[in-house]
Amino acid sequence: MDDIEVPKFFVCPISLQIMKDPVTTITGITYDRESIEQWLFTSQNTACPVTKQPLQKDSDLTPNHTLRRLIQAWCTENASHGVDRIPTLNLVLTKAHVLKLIKNLSHHELQIKTLIRLELLAAENERNRKCMVDAGLPKAMLLFIAACFKKGQVSGRRMENYATVKSHAASVLKMLLEEASSIVLERLKPEFFERIVGVLRERITHQGINAALQVLLNACPWGRNRKMMVESGAVFELIELELGSPERRTTELNLGVLFHLCCCAEGRAQFLSHGGSIAVVAKRILRVSPAVDDRAVLILSQICKFSGTSMAIQEMVDVKAVTKLCMLLQADCAPYLKDKAREILRSHSDKWKNSPCIFSSLSSLEYQVSS
């Protein structure tokens, strides 16, 4: 290979290697796709490396098929000199292809096949997910999910197929929103959350429920999103879901969302209005996973600190939430979690000490609570 002179126009200006997938930018310069995408997407570069002209991250990269065939032919001719033939490319997802798949969703017989295809493409790589977001697939998925709920059936079949379709749609949406920019997540509409909460309400599949919960969790950092979730009835549905004793991962996601929603007054009010809220959160402590312990204690902390009415404080005794916090102090768990439990116990110990059912627990731990 060292004795072979490689034609200059076969070499990528960035990697200085023979191009495997040459693409031409709007500046007229051809690069290897992997190199120019890395230049644009994983750095702050917004200029063509060669011409220094502006080159935005969403610039079109046009495949140079003619050049690729020339490179392939040259590699084949020089195989005896140790030149490796460039591999056959996987299909590069384009906006036009995504739009075609979106159109296929309107055909009943193609819906499940199309959703599975979208799910596989989204899972394949970051570039595909970005292409899907740019093509408007998140909005299309929401509209599709809404249509599913409205019609109550898909492909002429009821319920079983219907749940499968919504599950795949929710999974695609989850992956796309993980790729979406913060600007997209900041501009979500009330209808978005109404539809996602609808997925939880319908109790489709484990996969679909977890995808919907992840979508909500990704949107939680923004206060306006939390408010819209609460207004869409998310708190009630999350508690109802948890009362069904879901699998571990579902509980972790569920309590993660509940914690964020309990960070606002409206969310705490809805939480306390459900008769089983405190009980189901307390029940999960020390029974599921360390992540669940963390989120459950944080939820109880928010309630005690900001919404600690006499009724709520008494309910924590009645459903053994206080006993669970006492047990946590003696359990093998993270020190910060014990500190948080101790803080909760200290905050209302004057009221809880009067309850015979936990007097002994608090008395034995008095030195910890008052320290």
Domain boundaries along the sequence of the chain: 8-81, 93-232
Q: What is the pLDDT of residue 63?
A: 84
pLDDT tens-digit series, residues 135-151? 989 888 878 877 776 65
Across 148-283, where does the E strand assignment appear?
A: 153-154, 157-158
pLDDT tens-digit series, residues 219-250? 999 999 999 999 999 999 999 999 998 899 99
H or E segment and range at residue 77: helix 65-77
CA distance 85 to 71: 9
Residue 66 has pLDDT above 80, yes or no: yes
pLDDT tens-digit series, residues 194-213? 989 988 988 878 888 999 99
Angle at 151 between CA 146 and CA 153, to 5 degrees: 110
pLDDT tens-digit series, residues 12-47? 999 999 998 899 998 999 999 888 888 887 667 778
| Main-chain phi, psi angles of 319, to 5 degrees | -95, 10
Question: Does the global pTM surpass 0.95?
Answer: no
11 - beta bridge partners? 18
Percent of the chain whose predicted confidence (pLDDT) is above 70 = 88
Residues 158-164: contacts with CB within 8 Å, 24+ apart? 161/112, 163/202, 163/204, 163/205, 163/208, 164/112, 164/205
Q: What is the pLDDT of residue 157?
A: 46
Look at residue 23 and give its three-state secondary structure. Answer: strand
pLDDT tens-digit series, residues 89-105? 666 788 888 999 999 88
Assign 258 a pLDDT band (cuts: 50, 70, 90).
Answer: very high
Mean pLDDT of 172-180: 82
pLDDT tens-digit series, residues 267-301? 999 999 999 999 999 999 999 999 999 999 999 99
pLDDT tens-digit series, residues 69-92? 899 888 888 888 778 877 766 667
Fold (topology level) of 8-81: Herpes Virus-1 (3.30.40)
Q: How much is the mean pLDDT over the chain?
A: 85
